[in-house]
C-alpha cells in the first residue's frame, strides 16, 4: 500500500514537507521529461497486463462471463477492453498510477472481477428498476416511489455524450463496452464528490465535525481527485469506497464500506502487479533500492504481489508453486522430488527463486539448511548483518541440543527497536511478510514427534550468509529500525496489529 507509514521515526512536519517536496519534484520531472519509468504514470495499459490483472483478481482467463446472470456486453475481447480503458483514462484526466489503480480496484469490486457490468436481480429495489446500476461503477438513476425509475445520472451522462438514446434504452450502458467504461470514468472524475459536510446536522452534528476534521483534505474533491491523498494516507481509499457506497450522516468510522475486505484486497493486488511501491515516479513513498542488495527489490515486489494473502488462496498458491517448481519441488506425488508436507515448507524455495531472479549465487533446493551444505561454494557466512543478508534459523532438539536438519531461510530487512531481526521471507505465518527473529536465545519452539516420541524443538539463529561474490555496500550496512506491523500493513492495504507471528518452514 502506498501509505505514509513506510518511513518511520520522522518528525511529522518534516515528513509532510518531504512528501510535498518529492511529489512536486517528481511531477515536474514527469512534465518536462527529466524522469521516466515503466509505471502507469508515463504510459498506457497493455493488453497482456490487463489479462494478468483479471486473472489475479478473478481467477479467470476471460472477461464478462456473468455471475448469476449473463453479461450483456457484446465485445468481450481484452484488446477492446484495454483500448477503451486507455481512452477513458486520457479523456477524463487519469494521469498517475494511483489515479488508475484506485479506479481499477473499485471497478474490479463492483463488477466481480470484470465479469458482470450490471446489477443482477436481488432483494434490492434498484435491481429491477429501469435505471438500475450499470457500467464499471454501476451508475444508478434517481429514486421515486421506491424504485429507481427516474433517469437522473443516466440523463446527465446522455447529455454529456450527446446521445439521448441512453435514456430510452439504458441497457446501452451495459451492452456497449465504450459506454460501460466511459460512463464510469465520467462518474469517477466529474460527478461523484466528497461532501463538504457544511451546515448543522442537529443531533448528528458532532459526527459531521469529526468527518470534517478527519477527512479535511478530501472535502469537495471528486473520487479521482482523492488519488494524491490515497498516495499519502490509506484512509482516503476507505473514504473513496465509502462515497461510492453512500456515507450516512449517522456514521463516522464505525461501519466499513460495503465489500471493504474485497476492495482493499483488489487494491493491494493491483498495486503489487504494477509495482507501484518500487516503480511509480509520483509515489512520495517509493522504496529506493539504489546501491542495495539487488535481490531485495524482487523480494519486496513479490511481497506486494502476494498482498498479505495466505498460501492457499489466489494468487499466492500459484506463486508458491512457481517457487517450488524452480527448485525442483513439484506437486506430483509420483515424481521423485515430491515431499508430503510441501505446503508447510516453501521458505527456501522462495529465497532461492528470488536470488536467481537477481542473478545471484544460490542453490536449486527447497531445503533451508541447504545453505550450510553450499557454504563456501554458493554462500559465504558473514559476522556482520547487512540489508538483504540471508538469515538462517536452525531447529534443535531441546533435550540433546542436536540439529534436526530443518529450519528457516529468510532475508534481513532491518531491526526492531528491541534488537530483534526483522526479516522478509516466504512461509512466515503462511504468507510473504515481515517477521521478527532473535539473534540470541530461542526464537520460537514447539513440540513434535520424532520416532514416536514427543520432543521440544527450539528454533535458533544460525548465522548471516551472503551469495558468494556479493560485497555489501555502505548503505547495505546501515540497518534501519523497522515497525513490523506498519510494514505488514503496507503489504495488506489496511492497518494491521500483532502481525509478528511466525509458523515458519521446517524443511
Angle at 277 between CA 425 and CA 485, to 5 degrees: 50
Q: Please write the tens of the pLDDT for every residue from 79-106.
A: 999 999 999 999 999 999 999 999 999 9
What pLDDT is recorded for position 124?
A: 87
How many other CB atoms are there within 10 angstroms of residue 48's CB atom?
Answer: 10
| Pairwise CA distance, residues 290 & 60, whole Å | 37
The C-alpha cell 483534505 sits at: 217
Complete DSSP assignment for 308-366: T--TTSTTHHHHHHHHHHHTT--S-TTSTT--TTGGG--HHHHHHHHHHHTT----S-S
Asked whether the predicted pLDDT for residue 29 surpasses 80, the reply is no
Q: Please write the tens of the pLDDT for every residue from 253-264.
A: 999 999 999 999
What pLDDT is recorded for position 73?
A: 96
What pLDDT is recorded for position 506?
A: 56
Residue 478, CA distances (Å) to 80, 224, 237, 384, 425 in order: 49, 39, 33, 11, 20
Q: pLDDT band at 3, cuts 50/70/90?
A: very low
How many other CB atoms are there within 10 angstroms of residue 289's CB atom?
Answer: 18
Domain with CATH 1.10.530.10 in the chain: 12-277
The arithmetic mean of pLDDT across residues 140-156, rounded, is: 95
Q: pLDDT band at 42, cuts 50/70/90?
A: confident
How many other CB atoms are there within 10 angstroms of residue 483's CB atom?
Answer: 17
Region of poorest pLDDT, from 40-49, 67-76, 108-117, 275-284:
275-284
What pLDDT is recorded for position 345?
A: 85
What pLDDT is recorded for position 333?
A: 56
Q: Is the peptide bond before 340 cis (omega within 30 degrees of 0)?
A: no
The arithmetic mean of pLDDT across residues 48-71, rounded, is: 96
| Pairwise CA distance, residues 421 & 411, whole Å | 10
| Pairwise CA distance, residues 128 & 57, whole Å | 28
Q: What is the separation of C-alpha 297 from the centre of its chain, rounded to a whole number of angstroms?
A: 15
Helical H runs in 133-171?
153-161, 165-168
| Pairwise CA distance, residues 449 & 321, whole Å | 28
The rounded mean pLDDT for the chain is 89
Q: What is 12-277's CATH topology?
A: Lysozyme (1.10.530)
Cβ(180)–Cβ(161) under 8 Å?
Answer: no
Asked whether the predicted pLDDT for residue 36 surpasses 80, the reply is no
What pLDDT is recorded for position 494?
A: 77
Asked whether the predicted pLDDT for residue 223 surpasses 80, the reply is yes
**Partners of 415 in beta bridges:** 421, 481
Report yes or no on whether pTM surpasses 0.85: no
The arithmetic mean of pLDDT across residues 180-194, rounded, is: 98
Which of 17-21, 28-32, 156-160, 310-314 tops mean pLDDT? 156-160
What sign for the dihedral angle of Cα 339, 340, 342, 348? negative
Which element (helix H / strand E) includes 390?
Answer: strand 390-397
More confident residue, 408 or 283: 408
Q: Which residues of 234-253 are buried (b: 16+ CB within 10 A; e: fewer)?
A: bbbbbbbbbbbeebeeeebe
Asked whether the predicted pLDDT for residue 113 surpasses 60, the reply is yes
Q: Please write the tens of the pLDDT for every residue from 350-407.
A: 999 999 999 999 999 999 999 999 999 999 999 999 999 999 999 999 999 999 999 9
Amino acid at each position: 500500500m502506498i501509505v505514509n507509514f513506510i518511513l518511520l521515526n520522522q518528525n511529522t512536519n518534516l515528513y509532510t514537507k518531504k512528501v510535498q517536496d518529492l511529489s512536486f519534484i517528481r511531477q515536474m520531472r514527469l512534465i518536462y521529461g527529466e524522469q521516466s519509468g515503466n509505471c502507469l504514470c508515463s504510459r498506457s495499459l497493455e493488453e497482456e497486463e490487463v489479462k494478468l490483472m483479471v486473472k489475479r483478481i478473478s481467477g479467470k482467463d476471460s472477461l464478462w462471463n456473468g455471475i448469476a446472470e449473463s453479461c450483456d456486453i457484446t465485445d468481450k475481447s481484452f484488446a477492446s477492453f484495454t483500448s477503451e480503458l486507455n481512452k477513458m483514462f486520457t479523456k477524463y484526466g487519469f494521469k498517475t498510477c494511483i489515479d488508475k489503480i484506485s479506479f481499477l480496484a473499485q471497478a474490479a469490486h463492483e463488477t466481480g472481477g470484470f465479469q458482470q457490468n450490471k446489477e443482477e436481480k436481488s432483494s434490492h429495489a434498484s435491481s429491477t428498476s429501469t435505471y438500475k446500476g450499470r457500467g464499471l461503477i454501476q451508475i444508478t438513476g434517481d429514486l421515486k416511489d421506491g424504485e429507481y425509475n427516474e433517469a437522473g445520472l443516466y440523463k446527465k451522462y446522455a447529455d454529456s455524450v450527446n446521445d439521448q438514446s441512453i435514456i430510452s434504452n439504458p441497457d446501452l450502458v451495459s451492452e456497449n463496452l465504450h459506454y460501460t467504461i466511459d460512463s464510469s470514468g465520467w462518474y469517477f472524475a466529474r460527478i461523484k464528490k466528497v461532501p463538504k459536510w457544511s451546515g448543522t446536522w442537529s443531533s448528528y452534528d458532532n459526527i459531521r465535525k469529526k468527518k470534517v476534521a478527519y477527512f479535511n483534505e478530501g472535502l469537495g474533491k471528486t473520487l479521482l481527485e482523492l488519488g494524491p491523498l490515497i498516495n499519502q494516507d490509506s484512509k482516503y481509499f476507505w473514504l473513496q469506497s465509502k462515497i461510492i457506497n453512500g456515507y450516512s450522516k449517522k456514521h463516522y468510522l464505525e461501519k466499513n464500506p460495503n465489500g471493504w475486505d474485497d476492495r482493499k484486497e483488489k487494491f493491494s493486488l493491483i498495486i503489487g502487479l504494477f509495482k507501484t511501491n518500487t516503480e511509480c515516479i509520483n509515489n512520495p513513498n517509493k522504496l529506493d533500492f539504489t546501491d542495495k542488495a539487488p535481490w531485495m527489490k524482487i523480494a519486496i515486489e513479490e511481497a506486494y504481489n502476494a498482498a498479505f494473502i495466505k498460501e492457499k488462496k489466489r494468487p499466492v498458491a500459484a506463486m508458491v508453486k512457481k517457487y517450488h517448481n524452480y527448485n525442483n519441488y513439484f506437486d506430483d506425488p509420483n515424481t521423485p522430488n515430491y515431499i508430503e508436507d510441501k505446503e508447510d515448507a516453501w521458505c527456501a524455495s522462495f529465497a532461492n527463486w528470488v536470488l536467481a531472479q537477481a542473478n545471484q549465487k544460490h542453490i536449486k533446493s527447497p531445503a533451508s539448511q541447504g545453505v550450510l551444505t553450499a557454504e563456501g561454494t554458493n554462500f559465504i557466512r558473514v559476522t556482520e548483518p547487512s540489508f538483504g543478508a540471508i538469515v538462517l534459523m536452525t531447529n534443535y532438539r531441546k533435550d540433546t541440543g542436536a540439529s534436526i536438519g530443518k529450519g528457516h531461510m529468510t532475508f534481513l530487512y532491518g531491526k526492531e527497536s528491541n534488537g530483534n531481526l526483522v526479516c522478509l521471507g516466504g512461509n512466515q505465518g503462511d504468507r510473504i511478510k515481515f517477521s521478527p527473529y532473535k539473534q540470541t536465545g530461542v526464537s520460537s519452539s514447539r513440540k513434535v514427534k520424532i520416532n514416536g516420541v514427543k520432543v521440544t524443538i527450539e528454533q535458533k539463529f544460525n548465522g548471516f550468509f551472503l551469495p558468494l561474490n556479493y560485497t555489501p555496500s555502505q548503505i547495505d550496512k546501515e540497518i534501519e529500525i523497522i515497525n513490523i506491523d506498519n510494514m505488514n500493513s503496507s503489504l495488506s492495504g489496511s492497518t494491521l496489529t500483532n502481525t509478528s507471528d511466525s509458523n515458519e518452514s521446517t524443511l
